[in-house]
Structure formats: C-alpha cells, structure tokens
Amino acid sequence: MTQTKTRFQTFEEYAALDPSGLPEGNYELVDGVIVEMGAESPENVVIASFLFAMLLPFCPYYLLHWGTEIAVDSQKVTTRYPDLLVLTQAGLSALRGQPRSLITLAMPTPRLVVEVVSPGELGSSNYNRDYIEKPQEYAKRGIPEFWLVDPLREVVLVLSLVGNTYKTVEFRGSDRIQSPTFRDLNLTAQQILTAGEEP
C-alpha cells in the first residue's frame, strides 16, 4: 500500500474533495490519509460482476453499485470501498446530486454489502481487515446483511445483523446461499467461488 501526503483534518474536508483529486482504483481513508489499496485481482472483479448479474432479477440495476465508497466509524479507518453494494431507494436518493459516490454516516445504510476477500493468512493485515475490522465496522453502521466471499478458503459467509452484532452462516460447495434480503436467490457457494472459470 502507498500513502498520499495529504492529511485531512475532518471527514467533511475529505468528502468535499473533488473526484479529480482522488487516486484511481480502490483506496480507503485511514487516520486522515488516503491509502491506495492496489488494483483488484481479475478473479475478484469477475465474482463481483457475477453477483451483480445474479441479483438483477431481484433488484433494480440502479440500486446495485460498485465503485461506491462508504463511511464507517472505527478507530482508524474512516471509509471502505466494498466490491458490491445494494442500496435502498432512500440511499440512492441521498446520493443524487453529490459530487461523488460516497455514502456518508448521515445517509441511509445499504441493504447489503459484499466484500471479496483478499488473500492473506490468519493474523495478516488482509485477514484482519476482512474478517475482523469490516464486520465490526459494518455492524456498527447498522448494515443488515454482509457477505464475505473467500475464494482461497472456498467459503461464502453470510452475516446477518442481530442486535448490534452479526450472526454468521458458512456456505461451501453445493450449499445454497440463504440470504435474508434475497430469499428467492437460487445460487450455490460453488457458483460464486468459481465464477468466470472454464466449465
């Protein structure tokens, strides 16, 4: 990861930044500094694209977002860049007219957030970010459903908000994904994890 030199004193200062002043690709705001996360792997992009296509029969296309940043409330990290978001109608309305696609803390929470896990061993920064930090941040944000798609460990985790914490259910192989938001979704873990691979 590389850091730019600009340090923002407030979130509002960062949110007001012109999009042309932002780096290309994924980044997060950490300790007031923009941290570039590097390009997504082709596999991660294909999985996110596949899920976009699979959710289209159940959700209008304009509520399915990638490339949308979301503010979180944690000790160091101020924004995340999920692989896929499903907005509410109220959330979409709140984004209209904004200078860039950034869901602030004052805006309605998405219905669903999907993160495709970056490779990393137990205890690594990647592992801690995806498996520990993001669930805590998204739960605190009140996001009702959060998916962690982990191709390396061959598992899809569906986390459902119960009170202030997530209840986690694991899906592997031919297990049919059970989504509280999309109950009629007929999709297996294997289909998600092998998206884009030769049959």
Asked if residue 21 belongs to a domain, the reply is: no
Question: Coil, strand, or helix at residue 112?
Answer: strand
Comparing 192 with 25, which gets the higher pLDDT?
192
pLDDT band for position 55 (50/70/90)? very high
Asked if residue 199 belongs to a domain, the reply is: no
In the predicted structure, residue 194 carries a pLDDT above the cut 80: yes
Neighbours of 15 (CB within 10 A): 18
The CATH number of the domain where 47 resides is what? Answer: 3.90.1570.10
pLDDT band for position 124 (50/70/90)? confident
pLDDT band for position 154 (50/70/90)? very high
| Cβ atoms 74, 110 nearer than 8 A | no
pLDDT at res. 89: 97
Asked if residue 105 belongs to a domain, the reply is: yes
- Tokens linked to 102: 């950034």
In the predicted structure, residue 86 carries a pLDDT above the cut 80: yes
Asked if residue 3 belongs to a domain, the reply is: no
**Domain that residue 84 falls in:** 39-193
Q: In the predicted model, what is the mean pLDDT of residues 165-174?
A: 97
pLDDT at res. 198: 63
Asked if residue 2 belongs to a domain, the reply is: no
* Residues in CB range of 135: below 8 A, 6 or more apart: 146, 148, 159, 166
Asked if residue 93 belongs to a domain, the reply is: yes
For the chain, give the mean pLDDT: 87
Asked if residue 26 belongs to a domain, the reply is: no
Asked if residue 97 belongs to a domain, the reply is: yes
With 0-12 / 13-18 / 19 or more C-beta atoms within 10 angstroms meaning exposed / middle / buried, residue 9 is: exposed
b/e code 81-95 from CB counts within 10 Å (16+ = b): bbbbbbbeeebbebb
pLDDT at res. 77: 72
In the predicted structure, residue 115 carries a pLDDT above the cut 70: yes
CA nearest to 72, candidates 82, 80, 64, 81 = 80
pLDDT at res. 34: 73
- Range from 11-15, 86-90, 95-99, 195-199 that averages highest in pLDDT: 86-90
> pLDDT digits over 12-46, tens only?
767 667 776 666 666 667 777 777 665 567 788 89
Count structural domains, the chain: 1
Q: In the predicted model, what is the mean pLDDT of residues 174-199?
A: 92
